[in-house]
Each structure stands twice: as structure tokens, then as C-alpha cells.
Structure 1
């Protein structure tokens, strides 16, 4: 007999929880839903709000279970789906600490399979709510994936600036899509079809972003072995394409057959052969590879097959590709140095990582946060005075407006040099004659620009900061071709004071994706 004993007010609460269950944890929507569920004050800490959320849901669910409403076998349609999400949310958060410990244990054990002692408890709780055995096993694997994604995105890409918050939300969507209902309904084992292209200056953290995606892939759970079928440490493999000659690179990527060339005394398994099912290969410096290698990479992406050097036997690749470059792909595409068809196979999504100078401009507290994290990674927990000492030396030696051309990687090395020598001189580069943003602001105040010139200057300024037409289009809500037109206009139009282009001398990294 079907039961519907919950009140309208209770169903409203459950629907709010169901929306939170599928919301991006790095997004503002999830923050608002958590406050609504918990009833906590908006200025409460994140831990306090989450504790209140979990407690309140547990109390509500227990009341509903006592009345038979929380049993999915007694519900159908929309209400069954709402209750299912609430049950999943509840069980997942009951075992968050267990998943965190499993992640840390797996990091220590490396490629070794780790047993999951709490698995049967989770599966038992899921089936008690009326979730089928097979569905429960799959959702247990999704739980582990959700927690890994949160763990590696949160800890691998720190920062409180708006651009870093946007980056973390973006990475989460790359793992679970922008609407996790699509992922949960059928894309959970098809994400290898979605290749990702990471753009950004040297040292911005493209490797960390790739690792966060790579370690967050779906890994099935084997009930008989009481373990996941693969270690997430083995699920992510990377290669810097710029460090190999063309012949050696093909062997490293695709492997080779014994006798394929002088020195090939044994068969060699390449990177694509070693990649686990649902795994991720990170191709760093994709802009440095030759056209022949690009053609072979295109074949892998299009047909999902490759051939070891010296072999006619096709091998299948079932993993996901994440690629990165600090080069201007727009320029390489226009000059024919990078194939358009390969680009369009790579850019299911294009993510531009923000340079450190942009992050510091957006949030002055960003430097303090980064210093704390980097010092902790380097030397463990240290008293706050060490962080303040490093910050004081940086301010003394570099001034307040240092551009950090090496980005976060340079900041990390600066900390090490300060620890060793007590000083850091930085990269000495010629300063621009006039700050472009300040000049633009002055011209706006003076009314010296018409609407078209203003839009051109604004688009050019954003392009100089973020490096891609796509990001400028997103921020201005213009289409990509319109943005490109105004940026190109800014490059050739003389500034009002007659000293050349307003933004023409900016050093930028660019990217391109499908045009509307």
C-alpha cells in the first residue's frame, strides 16, 4: 500500500534537500540551500552550517521512517525521486569521514588496492531505504567519486579570489556535468567522451587542475573483493610532451613492438596502454607536438584506437584526455601549427586558469592564504610569525605591485629562497609606461570615449587579464565573434593621448572553442 503521510511543509523541506544533494558544492546555490535547510544564521561557519544540515535531515528522516514515508518502495513518481535523493544525501554525509580516511589511506598505499571496511554498512543503509542492490553498489562508487572530487579540488586549488572560486566550480562540472542529474542518469561511465583543454600561463596550476579531474573519475566497487576495482592513484597518468623528441614521444605514448627500431629490444607498453578504464591521461604542453603526432592523437580521440610503433595491431583506449598548454592556440591555429580538427576534439570544455596577479588584484587576502598553504606543505604547521615574516620580506624586496610572471610556482620558489637566504629579488621586467586600467578609468571620467571605443577597451582589458575570447564573452555576455572584433579593434586603434595602442603591448595567452 502506498503511503503519503508527510505534510506539505515536510515535502517542501525534502525538495530543498533534494536540490542541495545535486548542487555544485563550490557554488553559491548550494550555500544558500544549506542555510535554508539548517536554519543557521548566514554568518555561521561552514562547519557549523553543515553540522546543522546533517542533524536536521537525520531528525526529519527518522520521523518519516517511523511513519513509513521514507521507504522508497511505498512511493512513486516525483516524490519517490525526491525521497531517493534525500536518502542518498543523508547516507553519504554519515560516512564522509570514512571516505576521507579511505582517500588518505589510498594516497599512502599508492597503486595497492585498499579494502573498504565500512562498505557493507553503507550498502545496508541504502538498501534499507528501498534502493535496489545493484543501484546501491553503483551509488556507493558515486559517493566515493563525489568525495574524491571535493577533496582534490578543494585541497589542490586553494584561494578565495572570485576567479579561483569560479575555477573550482568549473572543475566540478567537468567531473559531473553542470547538472549532475545527467551524470547520475547515464553519463557516469561515459565521461571519457568529454576531453578537457586547460589554458594558462606557466605556473598557474594546470597540472593541479588536471590531477583533480584525473583522480576524481568513476571507479566501480567490487563487492566480492570488498574493494574498488582500481586505485585512483593509478587512474591518473601524465606526460610532458615537450621533453621528448618526436620518435621517442610516439613510443612513450603508443608503445612499440620489439624490433620496431634500433634499440627496441623488448615490447614497450605506452601511456595509452597503461591507462586504466575510466582513467585520465594528462597531455601537458600539447602545443609543442608536431603535426604527425597530432594526427595520431586525433585518431585516438576520434576512433578510440591506436597502434604501437612497428605494429599493425590496433589497441583500444577507454580513458579520458585532459590536455594543457601555455601557448597561444589562437595564433597556432591561424598559422597552421596546430590542427583545427584536433583542437575541436579536445575542447569539450576549455578552462583558463587565472594568473596570480589577477587573483591578488581580486582579493588582497589571497597572498596570505597562499603563503599559509605553501608554508604548511613545505614545512608542516608553523607559527603565524613565519608567514608574516615571509610576507614582509616579499613586500620589502618586490613592492606591492610585482606582477609574479611565474605565478604560484614562482611564489613557492620565492618562499624557499627566503627560507634559505632571507631575501627574494624576483624577475626584473620593464614596467608599462602607464597602467592601462587606470588610464581607461580616467578617460571614462573625462568622457573622452564613445560607446564603441569604451566596449573595445573593456573587452581588450578583460582579454589581457584572462587570455581567451571565451572568458571575455562569458563575462560581457557577448558572443565570441563580437568579442574578437572589439579586441582586434583595440589592437589597432590609437589611444587618445597618441602614445600607441591602449592594450596592444600586453602579454597574453589565448584559447579558442567552438563558435556559435
Structure 2
């Protein structure tokens, strides 16, 4: 007996378009095109709230008509059951989005997400209503609890990306889209089926200038990892708010880095009065350890971290027992790692191990390029956070100050962090002196002479040898490094060195 069809010929084309919408990256240009096409609109920007509400009516109407034909078409045997099922996924997600949003907001306000979920029963009932014979096709045997957990992850990801990456410039939109891919890959349907618990092994490296929001990107990804749902206890297996462990490596000595990450046993060193768990041991399977300023680490630490990344095994200081790291590693740096590798300060094998998933945060200068209105949006975002109900008036005050008192092409070398300080200075003092941060910094004399081409060959060699002598203060050792004899090295080292 030939399989029947759930959707009429007229509905089938619309259903295929809706399925494209189900899996599209919400921050991509493709998603905007699909949304506008479904509503019969020409090319343009994101939908208004009213237009988006009209869009959500389409899958609901399709499902309603399809459900009436489901049994007649053969249920899970229908030739287009998979399409029907995917539209049901979309409808379910948007039905429960407000519940998930309240859960996320409450968790951030309380500092904990550890609570019993009260709306899971409704979710199961509605899933059973739309798909009464259970999930089929590639989702055969897929439990409702897992679908529920994926929905919670999707909503957390959207929430955190929107809150942490602001602005409407091309650079900001591309960054949001890239971060979404880092969480779900470019194929979200495949992710939902088979990858939810596998991406924790993938290391994410965030690069970008200082002050460009690398930690916010890391936090957005780390707080949006998949966490299984325990349907029996009506709770998620881990508290997403408490599952992110940031470590600023540049603020710690080598010994402290080891203690913070690996932990130590009592008596392992002077002052180790009791056992202490490090972040690698504390972090659960759905948590994230974020290694900020990874480019500042000594080679000795890089070796130990490389072993961790390769084997996911570590030992606390003073212990021979090997422990297994179960979470995700993320790292960030504002250093040019290719340059650091060339100089011998950063291990090449460590770099390639880190570079599985790369995200670059743009400078504020790049974000503002060709987008005059973006500065006001960003100032408004900061002002609302700083001044609350006075945010609008502070935005106008700051933008007026920048327009009248600061250079038209000011490059914002401190990036978003500098813009935040500008807003705070205008709030407190009514002004901001940008040159204190950037324009008063002097270029070293040797650099100025080099850029102007003022060195003779002998002077240039003397400057170079003298600078290296400060790192390697031994004529013979430096000679081997430079392939020069001892007397030549001594000749070119400046007397005052």
C-alpha cells in the first residue's frame, strides 16, 4: 500500500519553506530571506514584531490542517511525516519560548538555575497531541526529555547572544552568527540528532583586540551548552549559571595557575594546608573552563595544558592519580599568536590544538566603519545599564559630547571597554579625555628612526644586537643565536648595555 501524504499539494510547498526556517541560523542573512519569503515580502531587514507574529501563525495553521489528515495518511508511514514532525518541533519551541525565557531570567536574577521545572508536563502533552504515535524517522526513540533539553539550550543560546553581542553593524551580525555556529555547528538538524553531547570535546579559541568583548563571547557560549533534562526529578542535570569557570591567566603566577586549574593535595607545597579541587576537577561534563589571556602563559604551562587538551587527563599537584576532565575548554588572547610562535614564546603544537573552533571579535573601529548610527546604539546599551531610567538622557548627553569634543575619526583603541569608560566619565565629570588613553603614548625613538629610514646599516645592526643582548646577556650564546662570532657580537653591543 502506497504511503499517503499529510499535506495537500498547496500546503506542501509552504511546509518545505517552513522546514528551512526550522534549522536556519537565527542570526544569518539566510534566515531573514526565508522569513520574508514566507510572508511574501521583498528583500529587506529583520521582521518587525508584528510581522514575526504573523510568521508564527503559518506553521500553527499547517500543523492544524496536517493533524486532521495524519491518521488517514498513515501516521508515521506517511511520505511527508518527517516534514510534519519538523514543523511540530518549530511550533513546540515557540509555544514554550516564554516559559524558557522566564526560567533563564529567574536563574540570572537568583544566581542559580537549580529548581524543579513546572511546565514539562504541558510540554509532553502538547508533543503527544501533535505527534500522537511518537517521534519517527531519524527521531525514532528520541525521548521527549531530550527534545526539551535541546529547546532549553536553543533558547539560552539566543538569549545570551542577544544580550552579550549588541549592535546592528555587519561585523556584529557576523559575530552573532559565528557564535551560534560555535554552539550548534552550521547544521543544526544534525546537531540536534547526534551532536548534543559531543561538542564539549571541541576547543574554542577567541582572538581579538583588548576590550573587544572576548569574555562576553566566551560566557555566551559557556552558558549555552547542552544540559540533559531528568524527566523523573523534573530538573536539568547541571545548573547552567554556575557551570562557567573563567580564569585570567595573566593575573596569576605559574604556580597559582597550576593550583587554580589542577588543584593540589595537602602538603604539596608550602602553604598547602588542605586538599583543594581545581577548576578542572570541579567542572562537570556540561561546564566550561575559560582560559583568558592564554597568550601570556609560560611555555612550561603550555606543555601541561597541551597534554590536558590531547588526553583530557590531569593530576593535582602533589598527586600521581590521573583524573579525567569532562567539560569544555575555551581560551582567548589579544596576542598575535603567529608572531608569538615565530618568537618562540608560544608553542606551535599548542596553537594548533587550540584552534579547532576559531572566533575573532572585531575592534570597535571596524564595528563603526560605514555605520554612523551604530555608535548611538552602543552608547544607549551602555547608558541603560549604567544609569537605568536615565539611560535615554545619558545617551543623548554622551553622543553630543563625542560629536562636539572628540575627533571625527577617533579610532577607539580601547574598543568597547573604552567606550564604556567614556560613558561613565561623561556621567560623572561631564567630559572624557581620550588622549590620556591613546594619543599621548610616545613611539620609541628607535622605532621612529626605523620607520623613517634614518639608520645606517651598522646602526641598525647595533640596535638589533643590543636589544637581543638584553634577552641573552652572553656574547657566545648570542653569537650562536645570530650566527656571528663572539668578537662581532661584542663590537655591536652598545657600551651602555
TM-score, scaled to structure 1: 0.80
1:245–1:88 CA distance, 2 compared to 1 (3 A): same
Asked whether 1:107 is paired with 2:108, we answer yes
Structure 1 contact 127–133 (Cα < 8 Å) conserved: no
Structure 1 contact 256–310 (Cα < 8 Å) conserved: yes
Among 51, 54, 77, which residue is 1:52 paired with? 54
SS at match of 2:291: strand
Give the structure 2 partner of residue 357 of structure 1: 365
SS at match of 1:238: strand
Among 313, 337, 340, which residue is 2:321 paired with? 313
Give the structure 2 partner of residue 295 of structure 1: 303
Give the structure 2 partner of residue 66 of structure 1: 68
1:431 deviates by 10
Asked whether 1:390 is paired with 2:398, we answer yes
1:320–1:383 CA distance, 2 compared to 1 (3 A): closer
Q: 1 CA distance for matches of 2:417 and 2:405?
A: 18
Asked whether 1:415 is paired with 2:423, we answer yes
Structure 2 contact 145–229 (Cα < 8 Å) conserved: yes
Q: 2 CA distance for matches of 1:267 and 1:318?
A: 20
Structure 1 segments unaligned to the other structure (5+ residues): 433-490, 495-516
1:8 deviates by 2.4
SS at match of 1:233: helix
Q: 2 CA distance for matches of 1:126 and 1:292?
A: 53
Bigger Cα displacement from structure 2, 114-123 vs 318-327: 114-123
Bigger Cα displacement from structure 2, 46-55 vs 277-286: 46-55
SS at match of 2:240: coil
Asked whether 1:15 is paired with 2:16, we answer yes
Give the structure 2 partner of residue 378 of structure 1: 386
SS at match of 1:217: coil
Q: 1 CA distance for matches of 2:382 and 2:179?
A: 21
Asked whether 1:180 is paired with 2:194, we answer no
Give the structure 2 partner of residue 90 of structure 1: 91
How many residues align structurally?
434
Give the structure 1 partner of residue 27 of structure 2: 26
Give the structure 2 partner of residue 150 of structure 1: 158
Asked whether 1:171 is paired with 2:165, we answer no
The structure with the largest alpha-carbon Rg is 2
1:112–1:384 CA distance, 2 compared to 1 (3 A): closer
Q: 1 CA distance for matches of 2:412 and 2:71?
A: 58
**Cα shift readout 1:354-392 (whole Å, capped 9, x = no counterpart):** 100111113111111101111111122336333111111
SS at match of 1:113: coil
Q: 1 CA distance for matches of 2:392 and 2:424?
A: 17
Structure 2 contact 384–391 (Cα < 8 Å) conserved: no
C-alpha RMSD of the superposition: 2.3
**Cα shift readout 1:412-471 (whole Å, capped 9, x = no counterpart):** 111111111000011354599xxxxxxxxxxxxxxxxxxxxxxxxxxxxxxxxxxxxxxx
Q: 2 CA distance for matches of 1:179 and 1:45?
A: 23
Among 220, 224, 241, which residue is 1:233 paired with? 241
1:112 deviates by 4.8
Q: 2 CA distance for matches of 1:243 and 1:47?
A: 45
SS at match of 1:117: coil
Structure 2 contact 6–84 (Cα < 8 Å) conserved: no
Detail structure 1 runs of 4+ shifted over 6 Å in the superposition. 69-72
Asked whether 1:340 is paired with 2:337, we answer no
Structure 1 contact 281–320 (Cα < 8 Å) conserved: yes
TM-score, scaled to structure 2: 0.83
Q: 2 CA distance for matches of 1:62 and 1:235?
A: 40
**Cα shift readout 1:261-311 (whole Å, capped 9, x = no counterpart):** 111111000011111212111100000111111111111111111100010
Structure 2 contact 299–347 (Cα < 8 Å) conserved: yes
**Cα shift readout 1:183-211 (whole Å, capped 9, x = no counterpart):** 12311100112111111111000010000
Bigger Cα displacement from structure 2, 79-88 vs 289-298: 79-88
Q: 2 CA distance for matches of 1:150 and 1:283?
A: 23
Give the structure 2 partner of residue 266 of structure 1: 274
Asked whether 1:211 is paired with 2:194, we answer no
Q: 2 CA distance for matches of 1:253 and 1:71?
A: 58
Structure 1 contact 305–314 (Cα < 8 Å) conserved: yes
SS at match of 1:366: helix
1:341 deviates by 1.3
1:134 deviates by 4.5
Give the structure 1 partner of residue 474 of structure 2: none
1:48–1:266 CA distance, 2 compared to 1 (3 A): same
SS at match of 2:359: strand
SS at match of 1:178: coil
Bigger Cα displacement from structure 2, 124-133 vs 63-72: 63-72
Structure 1 contact 72–84 (Cα < 8 Å) conserved: no
Q: 1 CA distance for matches of 2:109 and 2:225?
A: 19
Give the structure 2 partner of residue 224 of structure 1: 232
Asked whether 1:281 is paired with 2:283, we answer no
